[in-house]
Amino acid sequence: MKTSPWLALLVPLVLVAPGCGALSDESGSDGDRVQVAAGFYPLAWVAEQVAGDRADVVNLTKPGQEAHEAGLSIEKTADLASADLALTHQALQPEVFDAAETNTQGKVLDVEDVVDLAPAGTGHDHDEHDDHGDEGHEDDGHDHGDEDPHFWLDPLLMADLGDAVAEELSEIDPEGAEQYADSAEALRGRLEELDQEYTAGLAGCERDVVVVSHDAFGYLGRYGLEFEPIAGLSPDAEPTAADLQHLQELIRDEGLTTVFSETLGSSAPARSLAKDTGLRTDTLDPIEGLSGSGSQADYLSLMRDNLDALRKADGC
């Protein structure tokens, strides 16, 4: 992805604008709110849960927009440049990461510095977060390197991010440190509860293979599922004829009932495969973003919707 041509013109203006930049040492006491810019929805959601009413959180990816493909508008570039804390994910959004590293006046926290990413294409069937195997995955869409960027589908990794965000916010706003720590602890509790729901809900299923539209769900492999994507790590990756033949044989051999499409990506490949194999279609949300600005859903409700869909498809 290319950096916006407006960036070079905009940044000098942002740098000299009065009142911009990291908070002063007295910011917690004078009522100023911490300004947080987050690359896409899961990062913004964690920041909101941890910061509460002490921060304004800006999501740099619009509702309904693919996080993989999100570019920076002039307005969002200004939000990023003037943020006290920028939350980025280099593997998923390299343009946002590069812009933050170059222009953000406050702190930059990239998730890859605080979260253990799993190798791509392994299914992430692990008992411990630091035991991910060492296989790679080749994707013809976006270059994600050898790691799967979709960490947020593991609730415990989201809790790790929450702890890291609390630490960064405490350095920016020391007077709010206790609130941030308490909020991160409460967030971890809710995410551990979600993890337990997945563990119990996906135990003893009739089937453990799931066909999905793209390779975004590997982190759910820790609950005993094997995900077979139609496309690669990016939604726009195209399956080959051999890929489709393999999936058709797998569907027949495993007695699958469902092919999953997504909310933001194209559902055409999933619908086509389902039609060819006589299966039904359903939606599994990779939760890269909300479907629209009026959505009442949030990370927790979408994860629980996914759990219900998986239980129905796999006979749990």
**Per residue in 117-173, pLDDT tens?**
998 865 444 344 333 333 333 343 344 458 899 999 999 999 999 999 999 999 999
What is the β-pairing status of strands 55-59 and 34-38?
A: parallel
**How, if at all, do strands 209-212 and 258-261 pair?**
parallel
| Confidence bin at 293 (pLDDT 50/70/90) | low
Residue 313 CB: number of other CB atoms within 10 A?
A: 23
Which long-range contacts does 240-244 make (Cβ < 8 Å, 24+ apart)? 244/273
Pseudo-torsion of CA 199, 90, 141, 305, nearest 10°?
30
Query: For residue 79, how far is the Cα from the chain centroid?
Result: 20
pLDDT score of 31 more than 70 = no
Q: What percent of the chain clears pLDDT 90, i.e. is strictly above it?
A: 61
Sequence-distant (6+) residues with CB within 8 A of 316 are 201, 202, 203, 204, 205, 206, 310
- H or E element that contains 290: none
By percentage, how much of the chain surpasses pLDDT 70? Answer: 78
pLDDT interval class at 237 (50, 70, 90): low
pLDDT of residue 269: 83
The reported pLDDT for the residue numbered 22 is 40
User: What average pLDDT does the segment 105-125 reach?
Assistant: 84
- Per mean pLDDT, which range of 2-11, 25-34, 69-78 is the poorest? 2-11
Model pTM?
0.82
Q: Which of 175-189, 260-274, 296-310 has the lowest mean pLDDT?
A: 260-274
- Range scoring the smallest mean pLDDT among 74-78, 109-113, 303-307: 74-78
Tokens for 124, please give them: 């992430």
pLDDT over 60 at 299, yes or no: yes
Q: Within 10 Å of residue 297's Cβ, how many Cβ atoms?
A: 16
Indicate if the pLDDT at residue 43 is higher than 90. Answer: yes
Containing 71, the helix (H) or strand (E) segment is none
* Of 269, 191, 279, residue with least CA distance to 232: 269
Q: Residue 146's pLDDT is what?
A: 82
Q: How far are the Cα atoms of 200, 256, 270 from residue 171, in angstroms, in the given order?
A: 38, 50, 46
The pLDDT value given to residue 97 = 95
Rounded Cα distance between 75 and 59, Å, is 12
Residue 153 corresponds to which tokens in the numbers above?
Answer: 């589908």
Strand partners, 165: none
Instruction: Count other C-beta atoms under 10 Å from residue 252's C-beta.
Output: 11
Strand partners, 108: 86
From CA 136, how far away is CA 33, in angstroms rounded? 42
Is 50 exceeded by the pLDDT of residue 240? yes
pLDDT for 24: 37
Report residue 67's pLDDT band, with 50, 70 and 90 as the boundaries: confident
Question: Residue 6 pLDDT > 80, yes or no?
Answer: no
Q: What is the pLDDT of residues 256-276, one digit of tens each?
A: 999 999 887 777 888 889 888
